[in-house]
Amino acid sequence: MYHFLVNPSSCSGRGGRYWERVKKELDERSVPYQAHFSEKAGDMARMASELTQTGAGDRDEVHLVVLGGDGTVNETLQGIRDFDRTRFSYIPTGSSNDLARDVGISRDPVKALCQLLDDEKERPMDVGVLHYHTAYAPQGKGLEKVSRPDRLFVVSCGIGFDAGVCQQAMSSRFKDVLNRLGLGKLTYLGIALKMLITSGRAQAVLTAENDAGERTGPVSIRKLMFAACMSHCYEGGGFRFCPGADAADGILDVCAVGNVPKWKVILVLPTAFWGGHYRYRGVEHYEGSRIRIRASRPLWVHTDGEVTALSDDITVSCLRRRLRFYY
């Protein structure tokens, strides 16, 4: 039995139409399934929690199939209660689909479904967790200190510029229009160019540590633009920020960009599509199972493109658990 968790609003409403195509294929094949639909924020996590809740003596596996974008995957991840008995699959219908890009899942929903049904493969994946030592939310013209729970992720967690772009995209009135035209990436490109001009930088200190206790740092980063802690290679709709990232090695790869003039960033960023950005001064790579980043001022933070707060002090870790991913 497959449990399809469907976000009809993904890709500006096209998720519902994609589901109809998937449903037709399922019905034609007489595949046993149940469909669960989200209506508001938090529904995916709630449904995942209800489906994976472990009762006394309950050892049956649950197979969740998420139909949505990377953000939908992230929200679902927050609700999983028993990773050992949960099989997880994904049919991409979002704007960036970086998880699908790295794994090799077709971005055609029906082809992705057929790939799962006809030639199922297993790929265990690390689960990362973001811990806020401090958290802030906008309040009027300033910020107020708030409390935020730890947040899981499977693709990446970033602080600074990349998270700021995600935050702006979430409220962009142009995103829906461009998504309907199949041009969703232009939303992020336009916001990124605007933020290159208008956003400020911060001084930061980064420390990376592995499970053996070996430490890198503390490393001072002048004029931090962003730091992306990644389990997979891609984020932001195809930027290959960490070409060597292995989603099952228990290690987070970090791409940190600092002290790079804004005009130069315009030259550097396009090279990240093929992983050529490390040849530029100011672009550094670190790795570890625990990464702590302290900044001189609060910056936006994201997990798999989902933004819940700003922070000037975070720890990003690789958990000792695996997501049982099937595709």
Torsion of CA 39, 230, 166, 131, to 10 degrees: 70
Say whether both 163 and 25 belong to one domain: no
| 201 shares its domain with 308 | yes
Q: What is the mean pLDDT of residues 34-52?
A: 96
Task: For residue 180, give the H/E element and its range.
Answer: helix 173-180
pLDDT of residue 188: 65
Q: How far is it, in rounded angstroms, from Cα 3 to Cα 91?
A: 12
Each residue of 60-106: pLDDT tens digit? 899 999 999 999 999 999 999 999 999 999 999 987 899 999 999 99
Task: Indicate whether 325 belongs to any domain.
Answer: no
**What is the per-residue pLDDT for 281?**
94
Of 120, 150, 177, which residue is a domain's last?
Answer: 120
**Distance between CA 134 and CA 138 in Å, rounded?**
14
Query: Which residue, 74, 90, 120, sits at the end of a domain?
Result: 120
Residues 175 and 272 in one domain: yes
**Which CATH number is 231's domain given?**
2.60.200.40
The structure's pTM equals 0.91
Residue 57 has a pLDDT of 54
Residues 147 and 271 reside in one and the same domain: yes
- Over residues 110-154, the pLDDT tens digits come to 999 999 999 999 999 999 999 999 999 999 999 999 999 999 999
Judge if 47 and 166 occupy the same domain. Answer: no
Q: Are residues 265 and 315 in the same domain?
A: yes
Q: Are residues 86 and 164 in the same domain?
A: no
Mean residue pLDDT across the chain: 91
Beta strands in the chain (DSSP E): 2-6, 33-37, 62-68, 86-92, 122-132, 136-139, 142-145, 151-153, 156-160, 202-209, 215-230, 252-258, 283-288, 290-303, 306-326
pLDDT tens, residue by residue, 242-299 = 999 999 999 999 999 999 998 898 899 899 999 999 999 999 999 999 999 999 999 9
Q: Is residue 63 one of the residues assigned to a domain?
A: yes
For residue 183, is pLDDT > 60? no
69, 213: one domain: no
So what's the pLDDT on residue 56? 47
Domain residue limits at 67: 2-120
Q: What's the structural domain count of the chain?
A: 2
